[in-house]
């Protein structure tokens, strides 16, 4: 079963990860100072839940996780791969504005979120077609 995991940046600057699916009969959360720590804590909690179900002789639903990010979490997690300048060129969203999203000074509008997501997906499709000779 596939389950969506939502990763969000908290108001204190930490990150949380939680299952965003109603199809899973258990809850799992993870947190950390970085996105990587939150994901690691989440996956550790998943393993602990799996062990608990085994000890209790309960049927456990195995899951594959798809991670979804708020803008601040995405920019923090992929910041060492995609620069704000590069993201500005890709999406048309001003680098200064993107910086505000990273720091949490501002939250993007739904329109801006969809614009960034659309441009990233288009870029991903383009990269998927790259072949080297």
The contacts of residue 97 (CB under 8 Å, 6+ apart) are 106, 108, 112
Instruction: Report the C-alpha gap between 46 and 133 in whole angstroms.
Output: 42
Two tokens, residue 1 = 């079963």
This prediction has a pTM of 0.81
Picking from 31, 30, 28, the residue whose alpha carbon sits closest to that of residue 53 is 28
Taking only the tens of pLDDT, the chain with its 133 residues reads: 888 999 999 988 899 999 977 778 888 999 999 999 999 999 999 999 999 999 999 999 899 999 999 998 999 889 889 999 999 999 999 999 999 998 888 999 999 999 999 999 999 999 999 999 9
Three-class SS state of 31? strand
Q: What are phi and psi of 30, to 5 degrees?
A: -145, 150
């Amino acid at each position: 079963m596939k389950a969506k995991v939502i990763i969000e940046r908290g108001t204190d600057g930490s990150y949380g990860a939680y299952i965003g699916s109603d199809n899973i009969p258990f809850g799992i959360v993870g947190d950390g100072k970085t996105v990587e720590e939150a994901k690691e804590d989440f996956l550790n909690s998943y393993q602990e839940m799996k062990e608990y179900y085994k000890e209790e002789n309960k049927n456990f639903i195995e899951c594959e996780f798809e991670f979804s990010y708020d803008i601040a979490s995405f920019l923090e997690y992929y910041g060492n791969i995609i620069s704000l300048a590069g993201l500005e060129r890709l999406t048309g969203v001003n680098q200064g504005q993107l910086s505000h999203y990273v720091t949490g000074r501002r939250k993007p509008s739904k329109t801006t979120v969809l614009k960034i997501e659309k441009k990233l997906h288009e870029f991903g499709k383009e990269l998927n077609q790259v072949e080297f000779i």
